[in-house]
Amino acid sequence: MTLYAWLNFLHLAGLAAFLFAHGISGGASLALRGPVSGYSRSLLRLSQRSGLVSNPALLVVLITGIWMTFAAQWWSRGWPWASLAVLVAVLGVMFYVARPYYMARDAVGGPDDALAERLHHTRPMLAVWAGAVGLIALVALMVFKPF
């Protein structure tokens, strides 16, 4: 097995772990419509715990992607750097769009009215669309390597 094959395996395993764990958080955000309850607090706690997997997994994806760019001598091609730019842009958009959701997660132990106010400002469908468009763009760049 070559170094590149191992890096590719780790890259895809990291992607799978990220998508699984981040999907838990995304699914929870979609289910948090309505009054605050013990159920909604449990979903927010689960979302917090999923970050313990999704954040390191995303770091694995980033590190192995950059490493593979140099291992395969693709640093002079445009698509790896375009992929990195798309990832950074999606992370920026997601941070902005999901900030109210993260603030709600941080308020999970507080009073119901404060938590309800924070949940009221979340926009989970905007986050879904931003993430989906970004993921499709990244997959297209990885598969087609257009430039």
- The model's pTM is 0.91
Question: Strand, coil or helix: what is 78?
Answer: coil
Going from N- to C-terminal start, the domains of the chain cover: 3-144
pLDDT (tens digit, 9 = 90+) per residue, 77-118?
999 999 999 999 999 999 999 999 999 999 999 999 999 999
21 contacts: CB under 8 Å, gap ≥ 6: 50, 51, 52, 53, 54, 57
In Å, what is the CA distance from 120 to each residue of 2, 21, 34, 59, 64?
50, 24, 9, 30, 38
Average pLDDT on 124-130 reads 95
- Kindly tell me if the per-residue pLDDT of 20 is higher than 90: yes
Token pair recorded at residue 46: 């689960």
Confidence band for 33, pLDDT divided at 50, 70 and 90: confident
- Kindly tell me if the per-residue pLDDT of 34 is higher than 90: no
Average pLDDT on 31-45 reads 91
